[in-house]
Chains A and B, each alone.
Chain A
Amino acid sequence: MYALSSSLIRSPALRKGLQVAAANRQVSLKVVSVGSTQKDESFFEKNERLGRKLSPHLTIYQPQLTSMLSIMHRGTGLALGAGVWALGLGALISSHDINHYVTMVEGLQLSGATLTAIKFIIAYPVGYHTANGIRHLLWDTGRFLKIKEVYSTGYAMVATSFVLTAILALL
């Protein structure tokens, strides 16, 4: 049956009929130089000139697991990057060695519970970014790209991130 319908579509009679219909519609093409089709201003410049407001985007799009986990990955990455910069630039600028700063923190006399809580908060970006990083690398191999799999790996990843953080905080 498919062969019949495809042969109908490809039949010379149909093609002739379409040609006749096209000729009757009197479509004509105008040859135009490439230069005349290029624009002077960009899309953004034109809309700014016309005084048009930008359409809402982030304010109206419903937060979803996909987008929230993705921006969290970027946020935790930025936080970790800032930490690395602080370590490196701090070592460059500071006139003291690390023991000075360790003693300074010990001098704060924080309780064990407070310290564990602080370590959990510092370790969470590490745990989340590592877990989601593995998820990203799995995507890069072409795995888990269907939307159901994106969601299931997403939930598994969040759980893993907490486990990883707990392990790091208790070390």
Chain B
Amino acid sequence: MSLSLVLRGAARCNAANLVKSARITPLKSYSTLVANAQRRAVVQPLALAKIAAPVVREISVSAPRMASAGGSHTLLWTVERVVSAGLLAVIPAAFIAPSQVLDALLAVSVVIHAHWGVEAMVVDYMRPSVVGNILPKVAHIALIIISVATLGGLFYFIQNDVGLANGIKRFWAIKGKDAEKKQA
């Protein structure tokens, strides 16, 4: 053992150098062994400490935690991803085969996707420690009002005008003045 340490040129005789000397395990996994040993050395006393002094439940006054207090966020997260993926199908479908049903589906999906996105921005940037306690709440309520109004406006548009996809297509089809000259 000491010979292998000498051969390594190891200055100290400790567990680390012993393990490296033997090198029965590949060197790549050495760090994992040390990390695991170190982790086990920390976790046990921490677990004991938690039994001795149980953590008191924290009551947070920050906006996102207030919003989620008492419930899990996972269902909403999954629904958000489903809507995002759904948009990848709904947008092309609504434009390839315009109809009132697909327009309505498009309107609902886009408005709720935008609502969740802007809500994340409000939660991230309108922090109570920066802007006070009233402004985040006002912003949240304003966002809900805007989203509802937008959806209402889009539904009105689908019902009483050419429809969402057709309307956008009409704008997109505007030709330049030279193209009109060529046609004439």
Contacts and interface: CB of A to CB of B under 8 A. Distances in A.
Interface centre among A4, A5, A88 (most CB of B within 10 A): A88
Nearest to B25: A2
B145 to A, nearest CB: 11
B84 interface: yes
Given A34-B56, A85-B150, A97-B161, A105 B171 contact: yes
Given A2-B24, A77-B117, A92 B149 contact: yes
Chain B interface, DSSP helix/strand/loop, else mixed: helix
For chain A, the bracket of interface size reads: 35 or more
B81 A105 contact: no
A92 B156 contact: yes
Contacts of B164: 87
Contact of A92 (B153, B170, B179): B153
For chain B, the bracket of interface size reads: 35 or more
Given A1-B24, A77-B117, A114 B176 contact: yes
B170 A98 contact: yes
B162 A1 contact: no
Contacts of A77: 114, 117
Contacts of B154: 84, 87-88, 91
A1 B19 contact: yes
Contacts of A5: 15, 18-19
B156 A91 contact: yes
B91 to A, nearest CB: 8
Given A84-B111, A140-B81, 18 more contacts: A6-B37, A78-B121, A81-B118, A87-B150, A88-B153, A91-B153, A92-B152, A98-B157, A98-B167, A98-B171, A99-B162, A105-B171, A105-B174, A111-B177, A112-B176, A113-B176, A137-B85, A171-B172
